[in-house]
Chains A and B, each alone.
Chain A
Amino acid sequence: MAPVFSTIVTRLALRLPALIGVVLVSFALTRLLPGDPAVYFAGAAPTPEAIADLRRVLLLDQPLYVQFLSYVRDLVHGNLGRSLATGQPVVQDLSSRLPATLELTLAAMTLALLIAVPLGIAGARHKGRPVDHVCRLVSTGALALPAFFTGLLLVFLFYYLLGLAPAPLGRLAPMAFPPPERTGFMIVDAALARDWSVLADAVAHLVLPAVALAMAAIGPLTRVTRGAMLGVLSSDFIRAARGYDLPRWKLVYVYALRNAMLPVLTTIGFVFSFLISANVVIEKVFSWPGIGSYALEALVASDYAAVQGFVLAVATLYVLINIAIDILYGIVDVRVRLGG
């Protein structure tokens, strides 16, 4: 386990400059954006004095470098500042909302993989036949639908018309009691608490947003799986394996798939990052209390601390995903040596 650990440390160290860059850029960008938080939060009919008061409190009357230094100083102490919109420390906001986003994203990712990988394999194995056309149709169709639209369409069909899905009001029914929080993942927490009715409620609430989000991932994943499998299936070693009369399933799912996994893994990394941004709109449609909807509101209100915190959190998440994918590379493909 030690080499894996040292790899993680070196990778993290290598990514540090990128994170510093993110800190700088997010700080600069929020200041460059139009909008003035002091005016926004000064109330319904702000007097110039009330605005000036707020500027002082928010340090907005200080030169930019002073603001930046104080931001970095806080950052080093693990303090991301306080969100004006929610009135809470940003760290607390993000950590209470991140599990909701991760739960949704992971569910969507799992769903997308369960559909995309078999579909891609089937498409590759039966190239040019009806199943391949279905594969192409599904991937193109899923790519063509914007997440916002899919979300609303699903709500309309399954909630409004058919009444099969629960009201799009977040993770649980409005008056339900949430299980005691352990992991922040509603489904896991409900299972741990053995509260089966809440578990069912949580799953029911997760289905529609997860499907809407998965649609965004199915397209690229199917295409890449199909392409990679096509390449591998026509390669020499598979032909040789066929010559040895190995069972068909072992050939496809063990030897071929393992070799086709590399590009798929890379795509998973991409798609995961993409899903986190797609989350922003899905969370809005389903009132999902994640970090996407949080960031959107913060941006509208020029809530600097919250926006910077969100960007930093997502950047860190990307870095972690990349490291995880790197490590998976090594497991899937022995040619990619750990730490190499």
Chain B
Amino acid sequence: MHRRTFLQLAGAGATSGFLTTPLLAQGASDRVLIVSEMNANSLDTHTVGANRAAYGLVWMTYDRLITFGTKTLANGVKSYDYTKLEPQLAESWEFAADNMSVTFKLRRDATFHDGTPVRAQDVKWSFDRFVKVGGFPQRQMEQGSLSSTDQFEVVDDHTFRVKFLRPDKLTMPSLAIVVPSVYNSELCKKNATASDPWALDWTKNNSAGSGAFKVESFKSSEQVVLARFDGWKGGKLPAIQRAMYRNVAAAGTRRALVEKRDADISPDLPPREIADIEASKKLKVQASPMANTLKYLALSTIIKPFDDVRVRQAIAYAIPYQKVLDSAVFGRAQPMFGAKSDTPSDASWPQPFPYSYDPDKAKALLKDAGLASGFETKLFFDAQVATTDEPAALVIQDELGKLGIKIGIEKLPDFPARRNQKAWPMAIDVFGAWFDDPDFFFRWIWHGQNAVWNLSSYKSAEMDKLLDAARQERDGAAYASLVKQFVKLAMTDVPVIPLFQPILEVVTQPDISGYTYMFHRQVDATTLVRG
């Protein structure tokens, strides 16, 4: 309430065109200040509990063997390109004739921040590390079939081989994500102890990489100052010399800071504020759909009456999608409804489902299922994202009420911890996958392995067969055909009804260009250009 009052006042101030005196932003063409709600809590993603901001930080302070290319989205915003793998510390790589290993040639001129040359032994040590330290790094790399130290082999100082456990198309992209960063092994070993052989306690507060930026100062969760590493060989030298990432908890304060030009970038303002900022046209808003991420309504296939596919389809026709979109995120997301045909025309993902708001169809389907007079059920959502999910839940409750379906709304503070109980008839949830392959996303939500994200407890022999085949398939056309089949199945069975694909909107000063959407969703200062 109070915050809103302030923002209205703030909005009024902005439109009155008050002259503002910048403190920091001006006159410092090689610096940027980025303010966000979350700041890195560790300098190393291998440490327990490293947060998402730490992924973005490690992305800049360390290098990988390979990295993702870039592309330009339809709206002109740049984005990483999952389909393009480019050299970073490796200058080239070659697959073995039997396709069961890949050999990387390392660049000879790359050095760590302390001047030590990067060698294959460092890569080996770093890769062994993510296998051995357990927790998130190990589990994440397992997804790409990289789970044994025997897979990593030093051929010579500048040649490194990765043996494959099985054909898996996630193995190569896995090498370009944040986890398999290359650490300065000699430096780390010097700081290792008997109880901490991988020097995790040390790398939590110290950086040992060869990345584009060096850590100048680090206050966990509070602020990080990065200085450009002028000897960087992992890509084009950044235009920015110093980047400061600063935690500012209140969204109102973040907005005031960018509007006053005291901060350059705010990557996580709420949709409402973004709408105001865009209307005032003084700042740039760079929007990109969150790759492979969906907000959806899950219907439990093991709880009556949603075990009946007709009831699930009825719900899919009864949801006023546009209204949900407008009330939850002020229309600032990609619609996922209203596809013309119930057969996917391409293998893209996420793609709109062939449902749109049609109460008559919903009524007919319910009548078919013998539920013409409606029923009672419950809808659950996560209290931590109540700002978007609560309005969505209310709209759904209201609309289904017209069909005689009485919904009790349950807002859970411990929603994430209770996902695995699979006890919710209806639930609003969000899922984002690390890899862009459609089958990777599907594996978590629709596969019979019943991962924690499969809130519908959906199980279908046909779906499992298609997904297992897709995981192994390397041929592009055959893969696309499999994708179309399992997407169609998901559309017909609708255990999960997509509500929308969230978008990431980053507010920047007008003189800042080069912003590139990354899969880790943090602002990458390497790409930024000022003026």
The chain A residues found within 8 Å of chain B, CB to CB, are 33-36, 39-51, 53-54, 57, 84-88, 93, 146, 148-149, 152-153, 155-156, 159-161, 163, 166-169, 173-175, 284-287, 289, 293, 296-297, 300
Contacts and interface: CB of A to CB of B under 8 A. Distances in A.
B27 to A, nearest CB: 12
A264 to B, nearest CB: 30
Contact of B2 (A40, A148, A159, A287): A148
Interface string B27-43: 00001010100000110
B49 A87 contact: yes
Interface stretch (B134-142, B314-322, B523-531): B134-142
Contacts of A169: 35, 246, 248, 257, 262
B429 to A, nearest CB: 12
B10 A45 contact: no
B246 A174 contact: yes
Nearest to B55: A44
A45 to B, nearest CB: 6
A39 B416 contact: yes
Nearest to A96: B219
Interface in B174-205: 204-205
Contacts of B47: 87
Contacts of A53: 134-135, 139
A87 B220 contact: yes
B173 interface: no
B340 to A, nearest CB: 32
Contact of A287 (B204, B249, B412, B444): B249
Interface string B247-291: 111101100110110110000000000000000000000000000
A152 B2 contact: yes
B434 A156 contact: no
28 contacts: A36-B416, A45-B444, A46-B136, A46-B139, A48-B451, A48-B452, A50-B139, A53-B135, A85-B49, A85-B221, A86-B220, A86-B221, A88-B205, A149-B5, A152-B2, A155-B256, A156-B10, A160-B10, A160-B259, A174-B223, A174-B244, A284-B249, A285-B250, A285-B253, A287-B249, A287-B250, A287-B253, A297-B221
A88 B50 CA distance: 11
A86 B50 CA distance: 8
Contacts of A50: 135-136, 139
Interface of B: 2-3, 5-6, 9-10, 13, 18, 20-21, 23-24, 31, 33, 35, 41-42, 47-52, 134-136, 139-140, 204-205, 219-223, 242, 244, 246-250, 252-253, 256-257, 259-260, 262-263, 384, 412-414, 416-417, 420, 431-434, 444, 451-453
A156 B9 contact: yes
A292 to B, nearest CB: 11
A167 B262 contact: yes
Most central of B250, B414, B431 by chain A CB within 10 Å: B250
Contacts of B18: 161
Given A34-B417, A54-B135, A149-B6, 17 more contacts: A34-B412, A39-B416, A41-B49, A44-B52, A48-B451, A48-B452, A53-B139, A86-B41, A87-B47, A87-B205, A87-B220, A146-B2, A168-B253, A169-B246, A174-B244, A285-B252, A287-B248
A296 B252 CA distance: 17
Nearest to B47: A87
A222 B219 CA distance: 39
Contacts of B434: 44-45
Given A45-B444, A152-B3, A156-B10, A39 B417 contact: yes
A183 to B, nearest CB: 18
Nearest to B139: A50
A50 B2 CA distance: 40
Contacts of B49: 41, 54, 84-85, 87
B48 A57 contact: yes
B24 A174 contact: yes
A34 B416 CA distance: 10
A153 B253 CA distance: 11
A173 B250 CA distance: 18
A163 B20 contact: yes
Nearest to A33: B413
Given A169-B246, A287-B249, A43 B136 contact: yes
Nearest to B416: A39
A11 B280 CA distance: 60
Contacts of A173: 23-24
Contacts of A167: 23-24, 257, 260, 262-263
Contact of B416 (A40, A146, A284, A286): A40
Contacts of B414: 34-36
B24 A287 contact: no
A160 B9 CA distance: 10
A95 to B, nearest CB: 14
Nearest to A93: B220
Contacts of B31: 175
Nearest to A303: B49
A46 B412 contact: no
A57 to B, nearest CB: 6
Nearest to A162: B18
Contacts of B52: 44
B246 A175 contact: no
Nearest to B252: A152
A47 to B, nearest CB: 5
Contacts of B10: 156, 160
Nearest to B9: A156
Contacts of A87: 41-42, 47-50, 204-205, 220
A33 B250 CA distance: 24
A43 B140 contact: yes
> Chain B CB within 10 Å — which of A53, A85, A86 has the most?
A86
The 4 A-B residue pairs whose C-beta atoms are closest, nearest first, are A36-B417, A34-B414, A41-B49, A86-B220
Given A152-B252, A156-B256, A287 B13 contact: no
Nearest to A296: B249
A284 B37 CA distance: 10
A287 B48 contact: no
